[in-house]
Amino acid sequence: MTALETKPPALQALEAAAPHPTRRPNARHRHPAARRHLVAGGLLVALVVLAIVSAGLGQLPVPVPEIAGSLAIHLNEVLAGVGIDWLRVPVLATPQHPNADATLWAIRFPRIVMAIVVGAALAVGGVVMQGIFRNPLAEPGVVGVSAGAALGASAVIVLGFTFLGTLTAPVFAFVGGLAATFLVYFTARSGRRTEVVTLMLTGIAVNAVAGAGIAFMTFAATTQQREQIVFWQLGSLNGSRWQDVWIVIPITLAGIAGSMLLARNLDLLALGERQAQHLGVPVEATRIAAIVLIAVLTAGAVALCGIVAFVGLVVPHLMRMAVGPGHRALIPLSALGGGLLLLAADLVARTAVPYADLPLGMLTALVGGPFFFWLIRRTRRRSGGWA
């Protein structure tokens, strides 16, 4: 038996991933921290620029100086309200159109913030799911979590439950997403391993059953309720309000914070369950916590915006290619990337066709579907390894 064969599998995996000592390491291996900072800075700048562009475009165009002026006016009002009168933000320009300020604060700004928050939630949910299943093909929409959450929200619409007020739909969506996630996880488990083929087949079955449930709800619903159910199926940010934003923000922040607490365990799970256990990782507890986090993040997004597929598949994979598989960097960068992607998709959805609002889920599927095909082929060539 050779010396290599006597090494623990975890050490072999680490040595295989390390650059060869006789080869010149690439830029990502030489300066991983600098690369992460560069990617984070680029995403932040792109997100701010796109948010400003999105606020200015629409049926009522608003120039950038007027957007900045409106923000300054409202910020000065907030500062004065908390007693900080001595600090004033300069106002570059005031909105000239009589409806410009109301359009920005009642329609566009809530929609922009909602797009960023929902995109971040879906992307981080995808990161956690890929980490816990140790497969880059895992995504909340692919394995049926989004459909389960949408079924829960549709049941609320048809049955007319309001006992939790505005939180009724998010709570039922959470229950539906959690049930779908547990079903997929325990069905795909075999001999302390998660079978990828079984995972995908179970996801197909869960999507089919949830689709049948949504179809039944549509059949039993009134005309107005059918329109709401169609909204869940197509996905849209149209009609986003500040009260909706204040619901989804704490849910998303709690999910992201919980995901960061699991970052180290997810990194060690990439070495294999047995190796992670030897390194002190409570594998089953980590999986259960991850399942709850995935349900929280996905349900919060689906309950307020409908089914928006493939964000949790595309963004984590791109971020992993850019900064590597470490979850401490991958989770926050995926949150930024998810917000950027969904904000861009929503901008196209409401400006591509005049006086129309395209379904957001349709646009993300048009991008994510071909990407998913490419990822499957790439994963098969790499024998199921991480991308």
Look up tokens 């990502």; give the residue: 28
Asked if residues 306 and 232 have their Cβ atoms less than 8 Å apart, the reply is yes
Residue 190 has pLDDT above 80, yes or no: no
What pLDDT, on the 0 to 100 scale, is given for residue 4?
40
**The pTM is what?**
0.83
CA 138 vs CA 141, 295, 386: distances in Å: 9, 14, 11
Q: What mean pLDDT comes out for the span 160-167?
A: 81
Q: Pick the more confident residue, 201 or 112.
A: 112
32-46, 251-265, 274-288: range with lowest mean pLDDT: 274-288
What pLDDT, on the 0 to 100 scale, is given for residue 191?
67
What pLDDT, on the 0 to 100 scale, is given for residue 287?
84
**pLDDT grade for 143, boundaries at 50, 70 and 90:** confident
Residue 383 has pLDDT above 60, yes or no: no
Name residue 194's beta-bridge partners: 189
Domain boundaries, given as residue ranges, for the chain: 110-381
The CATH code of the domain at 110-381 is: 1.10.3470.10
Taking Cα atoms as reference points, which of 355, 304, 328 lies closest to residue 256? 328
Q: What mean pLDDT comes out for the span 67-79?
A: 88
7-21, 87-101, 103-117: range with lowest mean pLDDT: 7-21
What pLDDT, on the 0 to 100 scale, is given for residue 19?
44
Q: Pick the more confident residue, 20 or 53.
A: 53
Question: Model confidence over 164-178: pLDDT tens digits?
Answer: 877 787 788 888 888
Residue 283 burial (C-beta neighbours within 10 Å; 0-12, 13-18, 19+): middle
Q: Pick the more confident residue, 108 or 233.
A: 108
Residue 324 has pLDDT above 50, yes or no: yes
